[in-house]
Amino acid sequence: MNWLIPAVISTLASSVILFFVHAYLYHYERDRSLKIWAIAWGVYSLRFIFLVLLIYLKHPVFLILNQVSSVWSGFLLLWGAYLFSHRTFPRAWILLSGLCSVWILFAISFRLDFLWLTLPTFAFLGLVNIWTGSLFLRFKGIGISGRVTVAAIFILWGLHKLDYPFLHSLTWTQPWGYMVAAVLGLTASIATLFIYFQKTRDALRTSEERFRGTFHQAAVGIARVSPRGEWLEVNARLCEILGYTPEELRGLTFMDITHPEDTARDLENMELLLQNKLQTYKTEKRYLPKDGRILWVLVTVGCVRNHDGSIRDFITVIEDISERKRAEEERERLVLAVEQSSDSIVITDTEGRIQYTNPFFQKITGYSRAEALGQNPRVLKSGMHDTGFYESMWETLLRGDTWSGRIVNKKKNGELYTEESVISPMIDTHGTTINYVAVKRDITRAIELEQQFYHSQKMESVGQLAGGIAHDFNNLLQAILGYGELAMIDAAPESEQGKNIEEAQKAARRAVSLVRQLLAFSRRQVLEMVDADLNTVVSDMAKMLRRIISADIALQLQLDADLGSIRADVGQIGQILTNLCVNARDAMPNGGTLTIRTANVLFREEKSLRPSWAMPGRFALMSISDTGHGMDKETLEHIFEPFFTTKEQGKGTGLGLSTVYGLVRQHNGFTHVESEPGTGTIFHVYLPITDSTITAREQGTDSTTHAGTETILLAEDNPFVRELAQTILEKAGYRVFSAVDGVEALEIFNSLQGGVDLAILDVVMPRLGGRETYDALRARSPELPVVFASGYSTESIHKDFILDEGISLLAKPFNRNELLTRIRDELDRTLKT
């Protein structure tokens, strides 16, 4: 048997070499077929080791191991072929291999003849090799020549396996048998490696062609970049994105076209890649294309590594995201617009559950976003609308239409507010409603302003009517009072005629008081404006007020020591205070507390109690509060209307508060009233603060002698008043020239060539009014004293008539003494100056 040892050793050596070759290739290629083939050749090598041991030790265990290793090496070669050809390995081969192993153990244990021992085993191995050859022949992944060659080698090897049990007994054939087996095994192994590399080469070529096609035809920019940042290879799309040719890009680095603000982040990421701390990264950055614009791109960078793990180059995928960025910026602008909107915006799902609210919603309602999300808008329900209101709203929305209207809602703190709402369905591309969007504007303040404007217009209309009546009534009263006084000159006071005239005069004077209240309400009262200290006015009035209120009413003064000065008619401010205190007294028939308080108040542009027509700024506040029975909301809406009263018949004219309203408005101020039944009432009077210094106004000079001989020009359109005034003046010794209007007055003045000592002008006259006549006379004679006489009506001028400093005004109706005194005072003052 010594001739067998070299043959076995040489076959063992070739098998071991094939094991190491396959193991080495598997280490780099990581292909499972190589792994299984390496194991197969390792097991096949064990067969020959056991054969050598059998030759020398002759123990039956080594025969068993020799035969079993031969079976399983064939099994493993077949399994590797199935893996190589990407076929599913049949489990029947495992069963057959196991049965052969059992047969070997049985045959040796029972000392069967060599033929019976080896025939099943080598029949199985021959079948395995022939089947392996047929697998390679049927594999389409390589060329036909390669398949046929490998298949033929395995089939020959299989046929050789089949003849082994029969030829083994012929001693002369044994060396040749081992040699042929070794050659066929080695050839089969080399052939399988050959077709493996052919398959790998074809796969690599296909992969590279696929990569090239993908690289150059991709819809995104792709580039190979060196570790130094140089462009090694670029595709057409990248050139299109950047505006450079491939040649131009290959002369640049990626840093050359990166926005300066993004370079530091790029360099940091590349350093992490080179240090193996990152395998890939994705970032949004800005490129600077050839045309100079700024281009947003999404860059994904991966590594191509060498076998030693070092980076060969980078594969960079670049996607133009400029449109997406613009869309995101547009979305961000829309989000900011919604978030910063001064309207409340709410988005709900189709069931009405709130999914979004903007910050203004929280500001208006008091509900935070966290509190509102998931809630139904009915949390704002005020109870001011019936179910039909909401049913109509939902019917509109479910039709896919937009609903708009006013809703009274309730804030978290229980306060009611009114919103102008527009609710629209949000419809997707399929025409399905997916959300509802409500844009709501708080119009509570606007409604208040509307109501203020309506009330102001109503009061203005009533005021115009009252002023017109008062003006005409004044002229009648002027005649009654004037001629009554003239009649009293000739009648004895104790006579029946004198008493009758006196009673008529008393009634006329009461009518004059009523007319003046109407004028005050209509803001046609003539005011003599001075700079005044409101605290001083209140303090001076306090003693008189204590006399008119009941003894069981406590009067308290709370005056701000730093109160600013006001521009006002002090007498009319006293009238305002008196009227309000009398009202407060009547509201406390069983006694109580009357408090007068002053304070400085600053009203800014934003929402406040200040009405729309009042300018923002500093105001002096005078508050008159009582602890009386108070008023309901309906009464509050009418308290400033003339002749409106809640007092018993005969106990009030209904002009007290209307007078207050008119005088306050004439002072450019406004009022605010707080009252509820059973809680008392507070009247707040706001008067503008002036920066002027309070100065004493020069008073007219008293005169004990009212008669005179001077020449007086009288312009009055009412014949009764004109004739009465002319009669009184002429009886007092004055020379009087009368005119029916300003035009005639100027003609008379010109005809007298300046020989006029004083002019009396009605404020309202046809053709040329009193003020225009005054200006014309002063232009001709700057020192001419002028007295204006007026019952003052809405026709006078377009804005309130306020007396300028140094201009004298005589209010109608006037009596004989008032007229003569005023004329004498003005003439004497002119003589002194």
| CB contact at 8 A, 555 and 545 | yes
Residues in the chain: 833
Is pLDDT above 60 for 206?
A: yes
Is pLDDT above 60 for 519?
A: no
Q: What class has domain 218-326?
A: alpha beta
Is pLDDT above 80 for 236?
A: yes
Is pLDDT above 60 for 705?
A: no
Q: How far is CA 542 from the centre of its chain?
A: 54
Domain ranges of the chain: 4-202, 218-326, 341-442, 534-688, 711-832
Q: Which residues, other chains included, contact 468 with Cβ-Cβ below 8 Å and sequence gap of 6+?
A: 793, 794, 795
pLDDT, position 483: 75
pLDDT, position 288: 93
* β-pair type (344-348, 354-357): antiparallel
| CB contact at 8 A, 525 and 516 | yes
43-52, 168-177, 206-215, 612-621: least confidently modelled range: 168-177
Q: Which residues, other chains included, contact 810 with Cβ-Cβ below 8 Å and sequence gap of 6+?
A: 760, 787, 788, 789, 790, 818, 819, 822
Is pLDDT above 80 for 327?
A: yes
The DSSP code for 739 is E
Render pLDDT for 762-789 as a digit per residue (tens, 0 to 9).
Answer: 988 889 988 899 999 989 998 899 999 8
Mean pLDDT over the full length of the chain:
83
Report how far residue 376's alpha carbon sits from residue 124's, in angstroms, rounded to the nearest whole number.
80
Report how far residue 224's alpha carbon sits from residue 211's, in angstroms, rounded to the nearest whole number.
12
Burial of 329 from C-beta contacts in 10 A (0-12 / 13-18 / 19+):
exposed
Closest-CA residue to 789 (of 650, 483, 773): 773
Which CATH architecture best describes the domain 711-832? Answer: 3-Layer(aba) Sandwich (3.40)
140-154, 200-214, 343-357, 470-484: least confidently modelled range: 470-484
Report how far residue 120's alpha carbon sits from residue 110's, in angstroms, rounded to the nearest whole number.
16
Render pLDDT for 526-544 as a digit per residue (tens, 0 to 9).
Answer: 566 788 899 998 988 887 7
Report how far residue 581's alpha carbon sits from residue 545's, in angstroms, rounded to the nearest whole number.
7
* β-pair type (527-528, 802-803): parallel
pLDDT band at 699 (very low <50, low <70, confident <90, very high): very low
Is pLDDT above 70 for 616?
A: yes
Q: Is the pTM here over 0.75, yes or no?
A: no
Q: What class has domain 341-442?
A: alpha beta
Closest-CA residue to 583 (of 659, 522, 519, 516): 659
Report how far residue 714's alpha carbon sits from residue 726's, in angstroms, rounded to the nearest whole number.
8
Alpha helices in 257-300 (DSSP H): 263-274
Q: Same CATH fold, 711-832 and 218-326?
A: no
Stretch 99-124: mean pLDDT, rounded?
86
Retrieve residue 589's tokens: 């028939």
Q: CA torsion, points 640, 641, 646, 648, in degrees to nearest 10?
A: 120
28-42, 254-268, 458-472, 612-626: least confidently modelled range: 458-472
Report how far residue 793's alpha carbon sits from residue 172's, in angstroms, rounded to the nearest whole number.
154
Q: How far is CA 1 from the centre of its chain?
A: 101
CA 635-640-646 angle, 5° bins? 45
pLDDT, position 520: 53
| CB contact at 8 A, 623 and 683 | yes
Is pLDDT above 70 for 173?
A: no
| CB contact at 8 A, 130 and 162 | no
Straight-line distance from the first to the last Cα atom of the chain, in angstroms, rounded to the nearest whole number: 166
Render pLDDT for 414-454 as a digit per residue (tens, 0 to 9).
Answer: 999 999 999 999 998 888 999 999 999 998 888 777 766 66
What percentage of residues in the chain have a pLDDT greater than 90?
Answer: 34
Stretch 158-167: mean pLDDT, rounded?
74
pLDDT, position 711: 94
pLDDT band at 193 (very low <50, low <70, confident <90, very high): confident
pLDDT band at 165 (very low <50, low <70, confident <90, very high): low
| CB contact at 8 A, 298 and 287 | no
Query: Three-state SS for 747?
Result: helix
Burial of 138 from C-beta contacts in 10 A (0-12 / 13-18 / 19+):
exposed
CA 31-32-38 angle, 5° bins? 100
R_g (Cα) of the chain, nearest Å? 59
Retrieve residue 551's tokens: 């003894």
Is pLDDT above 90 for 65?
A: yes
Report how far residue 773's alpha carbon sits from residue 491's, in angstroms, rounded to the nearest whole number.
39
| CB contact at 8 A, 226 and 274 | no
Which CATH architecture best describes the domain 534-688? Answer: 2-Layer Sandwich (3.30)
pLDDT, position 446: 80
pLDDT, position 501: 76
Report how far residue 542's alpha carbon sits from residue 535's, in angstroms, rounded to the nearest whole number.
11
Render pLDDT for 123-145 as a digit per residue (tens, 0 to 9).
Answer: 888 899 899 988 888 888 777 88
Amino acid at 84: F
pLDDT, position 424: 94
